[in-house]
Amino acid sequence: MNKPTPLGGTAVHEPVPLGHDRHCAEIVAQTDQLRAVVAGADLAAAVPSCPDWNLAQLLRHVGYGHRWAETIVRTRATTPPPDTELRDLPADTGQDPAEIDAWLAEGARLLADTLREAGPDARTWVPVEMETSGFWARRFAHETLVHRADAALAAGRDFTAGREVVVDALDEWMELASLPQMLDVNPRQRELLGPGRTIGLHATDTGPSAGTEWLVDLTGDTVTCRRGRGAAAVTLHGPLTALLLVVYRRRPARGGGVEILGDERLLDFWLDRVGFG
């Protein structure tokens, strides 16, 4: 998972993941920031970006997710453990916020400690082809990052994130989106493939040497992505964090400093059929 699927041409700034130790640290750091975002917030508040959940359900999902991944890595699982707790979430909001806060902090620390002890190369079950513990460190660093954005939306607070973390999150998203098995997991994505279908993302708040451009190519038999600039049927221009939230379908593609140049219908078609996390 260290390299994206090549698209052709010369990519700029070959993506390098933040590294295992940094991913472990980000699980804790993003959880701490999430806890700060929801401090004093109404746990019954609806989460606009996860419309079936209130804020309490979102927080339980994060905490159970950390514990689920920790079990996989600690036991070197070869099959997935049950994930009922992190998906079938009661809407109850009666839990003491202080208890939820401490529970979130504990889950993040447990996962990060287990991942550090395992190292990045421990063999374990993974839902995609990279069957090592390093997958879980990177996945849950960014899973927690994006759910922090969900919490900020629910609590009516601003969401900001560091450039390195957002770039790595977008790189990971592109790498996962390029896996051929995604077409089997979600057959509707096959409808995306066709001639002339290319999508560019361009961050407007970073310098030209920052390597914050991506190109998605839907013209072949599978989805391919790379870091860099190229001819595109439609390009999304906007702040780096806004691009992350659009790709993760946490905010609309229009407005808020984001501009669409080219075939808007293709962009909408793409966003409607992709998504995870």
Per-residue pLDDT, averaged over 121-147, amounts to 95
- Structure tokens, 72: 């996989």
- Structure tokens, 250: 């946490």
CB neighbour burial string for 55-89, b if at least 16 within 10 angstroms, e if fewer? bbbbbbbbbbbbbbbbbbbbeeeeeeeeeeebeeb
Quick check: 195 and 230 in contact, CB under 8 A? no
Quick check: 176 and 61 in contact, CB under 8 A? no
Domain with CATH 3.30.1050.10 in the chain: 181-273
Given the candidates 1.20.120.450, 1.20.120.1770, 3.40.640.10, 3.20.20.70, the CATH classification of the domain at 20-159 is 1.20.120.450
Query: Is a pLDDT exceeding 60 seen at residue 129?
Result: yes
Quick check: 105 and 31 in contact, CB under 8 A? yes
Q: Which residues contact 154 (CB under 8 A, 6 or more apart)?
A: 41, 45, 46, 47, 48, 54, 55, 58
Q: Which pLDDT does position 210 carry in this prediction?
A: 65
49-90 pLDDT, tens digit per residue, is 999 999 999 999 999 999 999 999 999 999 999 999 888 898
Q: Which residues contact 194 (CB under 8 A, 6 or more apart)?
A: 218, 219
* DSSP-derived 3-state class of residue 183: helix
Domain with CATH 1.20.120.450 in the chain: 20-159
Q: Which pLDDT does position 59 carry in this prediction?
A: 97
The CATH class for the domain spanning 181-273 reads alpha beta
Residue 19 CB neighbour total at 10 angstroms? 14
The Cα–Cα gap between 174 and 27 comes to 20
